[in-house]
Amino acid sequence: MKSKLKIFFFCFVLAWLFPTVTVHAEKTIYTYNYDFWGIERESPDSYRAEVTVMGHSLGIGDFKDPQGLFVRGNLIYICDTGNNRIVVLKKDTEAITVVEEFGEVGGETAATALLGPQDIYAAANGDMYIADTGNQRILHIDAGHRVVKEMRKPEDETVDKLSDFLPVKVVADRSGRTFALAKNYNKGYLVYGSDGIFTGYVGASEVKFNMVDYLWKMVSTKEQRAQLEQFVPTEYNNIALDKDGFIYTTTSVFDENELLKDEAKPIRKLNSMGVDILIKNGWYPPIGDISWGNAGGVTGPSKFVDITALDNDTYYALDRTRGRIFGYDFQGNLLYVFGGLGNKLGYFQLPAAIEHMGHELLVLDSKSAGLTFFSPTEYGSLINQALAEYKRGNYDISSEYWEKVLMMDGNNDLAYIGIGRSLLRQGKYKEAMTYFELKYDDNNYSKAFQLYRKQWIEANIGWIFVLFFLAVLLPAAAGFVRKVKKEVEEI
């Protein structure tokens, strides 16, 4: 007995000194989403990385620090910044081939070389707009590389005449107006008319200057006040046009504390007046990751560096912090997140630009100097089809696609909401309420409830009137009977 007690005591001491530690292998998730509670949920892959194309594999030498990417039809335009050239590729069903590469533009004037071009936009007629950063100009050239016009530093009293003009991003609308972002310009994006004349800025952010800044400025020295003047509107870092001509912008300059309050607005959709009209009906604003820590030396929130908008009004933002791609629908709901930092196919070292070709996504990595092609999986295609049919007004078909999504991923909250929205559009309000209630979608539930109440009243209006008159007339009739009876009894 004593020996058993000794063994028990010995085991107790060991357990106390060396408690059991459960060891888990590091969990790596490639595709995920966030649920209503903000918990990261693994989901089936929505996109599959097909191939990464390098310059040497195309026979044109390696790309060097490429920064700009644009897609028109099946043509892919790359700003090979470090090599001072533009490369145009063509993607067919079977191969990716080189159409041309050039580093000089000419025309009536002598040919000049590009110097560190950082972005390119190609119009439908083949004209190209190039942010020729090193030469401090924006070029408009035709398909034969002849210069149509040059856009230089704005002659504006608000612009420091001694500062350099470094355009980094450029797009153009159908009327030939050019929109550009320039480094250290924080008044929004620059607008040039079709004649190349600077017409002003659009989309400047509201300047935030709080009381603490004001008081500090009153007591600070001249040198310190000069530093305070650096509190300026947000500077955008990229710009993209959607199919309707609205401008999407991204910024990575913000206060982290303002993200979840939707004051930072790292993604904006601007109308012609520069007003942000991005719809945000999701549980969280489109800010990328809604929680972040410090893992592998990477810390801080998502920092978007580029964005592309598909024809079904979904948009994809590229995060440089963790090399991830965030997809959002037209209501601002997060569809899925995929990607990461690394050296494997489907991962990035320093993502610089994102574009789309149909539903395919292309991501340019400036460090690895590669262009990666992503194609939607069956799961991703079903989501895209569900959204597209909803936009076309085919709500019953959209609902069928969402049902298939749920068969593959029962945790997809957006599928429940998508079915609910389709039922709502079909007038099946009570059924829609069930789906919205399941996923805590209070806004849509309220809409469905109001419409269901209106529908119920219209369907039962006859009975309501009957009951109303009965409620009014019966007491009156009873009173009349009692009055007559009383008069008869008094006779």
Tell me: the pLDDT tens digits for 446-478? Answer: 989 999 999 888 888 888 888 887 887 778 888
Tell me: the pLDDT tens digits for 417-428? Answer: 889 988 998 899
What distances in angstroms separate CA 326 from CA 30, 321, 332, 336, 361, one per listed residue? Answer: 12, 12, 11, 6, 12
Task: Give the model's confidence band at 272: pLDDT under 50 very low, under 70 low, under 90 confident, else very high.
Answer: confident
| For residue 15, pLDDT beyond 60 | no
What was the pLDDT predicted at 240? Answer: 96
* DSSP E strand stretches across 226-359: 238-241, 247-250, 267-270, 304-309, 315-319, 324-328, 334-339, 351-357
What is the pLDDT averaged over residues 222-232? 56
What was the pLDDT predicted at 224? Answer: 64
Alpha-carbon gap, residue 43 to 414, rounded angstroms: 12
Pick the CATH number of 43-376 from 2.120.10.30, 1.10.760.10, 3.30.70.60, 3.10.20.30: 2.120.10.30
Q: Which of 185-189, 288-292, 437-441 has the highest mean pLDDT?
A: 288-292
**DSSP-derived secondary structure letter, 220:** S
Tell me: the pLDDT tens digits for 241-258? Answer: 999 999 999 998 888 888
Alpha-carbon gap, residue 174 to 196, rounded angstroms: 14
Task: Give the model's confidence band at 18: pLDDT under 50 very low, under 70 low, under 90 confident, else very high.
Answer: very low
| For residue 52, pLDDT beyond 70 | yes
What was the pLDDT predicted at 24? Answer: 42
Task: Give the model's confidence band at 26: pLDDT under 50 very low, under 70 low, under 90 confident, else very high.
Answer: very low
What was the pLDDT predicted at 28? Answer: 66
- Given the DSSP bridges, would you call strands 137-141 and 119-122 parallel, antiparallel or unpaired? unpaired
- Residue 277, classified by CB atoms within 10 Å of its CB into exposed (0-12), middle (13-18) or buried (19+), is exposed
What distances in angstroms separate CA 167 from CA 153, 253, 267, one per listed residue? Answer: 9, 18, 20
What is the pLDDT averaged over residues 151-173? 87
Contacts of 329 (CB under 8 A, 6+ apart): 313, 314, 335, 387, 414
CA angle 303, 341, 412 (to 5 degrees): 75
Instruction: State the DSSP string of 106-144.
Output: BSSSPPEE--S--EEEE-TTS-EEEEEGGGTEEEEE-TT
Q: Which residues pair with 137 in a beta bridge?
A: 132
What is the pLDDT averaged over residues 201-228? 65
Contact indicator for 76, 371 with CB cutoff of 8 Å: yes
Tell me: the pLDDT tens digits for 121-132? Answer: 999 999 999 999
Task: Give the model's confidence band at 25: pLDDT under 50 very low, under 70 low, under 90 confident, else very high.
Answer: very low
Task: Give the model's confidence band at 20: pLDDT under 50 very low, under 70 low, under 90 confident, else very high.
Answer: very low
Lowest mean pLDDT among 5-9, 151-155, 310-314, 474-478: 5-9
Candidates 303, 297, 329; CA nearest to 316 is 329
What was the pLDDT predicted at 231? Answer: 47
Task: Give the model's confidence band at 491: pLDDT under 50 very low, under 70 low, under 90 confident, else very high.
Answer: low
What was the pLDDT predicted at 22? Answer: 42
What was the pLDDT predicted at 242? Answer: 94
Greater pLDDT, 400 or 441: 400
| For residue 164, pLDDT beyond 50 | yes
- CA Rg value for the chain: 31
What was the pLDDT predicted at 23? Answer: 41
Greater pLDDT, 184 or 344: 344
Alpha-carbon gap, residue 214 to 228, rounded angstroms: 10
Q: How many helices (H) and strands (E) does the chain have?
A: 9, 27
| For residue 444, pLDDT beyond 80 | yes
What was the pLDDT predicted at 21? Answer: 41
- Residue 349, classified by CB atoms within 10 Å of its CB into exposed (0-12), middle (13-18) or buried (19+), is middle
What distances in angstroms separate CA 262 from CA 220, 257, 266, 268, 314, one per listed residue? Answer: 32, 10, 9, 11, 19
Lowest mean pLDDT among 104-113, 195-204, 216-225, 302-311: 216-225
Alpha-carbon gap, residue 383 to 336, rounded angstroms: 10
Please give the order of strands across the beta sheet that includes 198-202.
Answer: 167-172, 178-182, 189-192, 198-202
What was the pLDDT predicted at 60? Answer: 96
Task: Give the model's confidence band at 409: pLDDT under 50 very low, under 70 low, under 90 confident, else very high.
Answer: very high
What was the pLDDT predicted at 141? Answer: 96
| For residue 94, pLDDT beyond 80 | no
| For residue 298, pLDDT beyond 90 | no
Q: Which two tokens stand for residue 302?
A: 């998502």
Arithmetic mean of pLDDT over the chain: 87
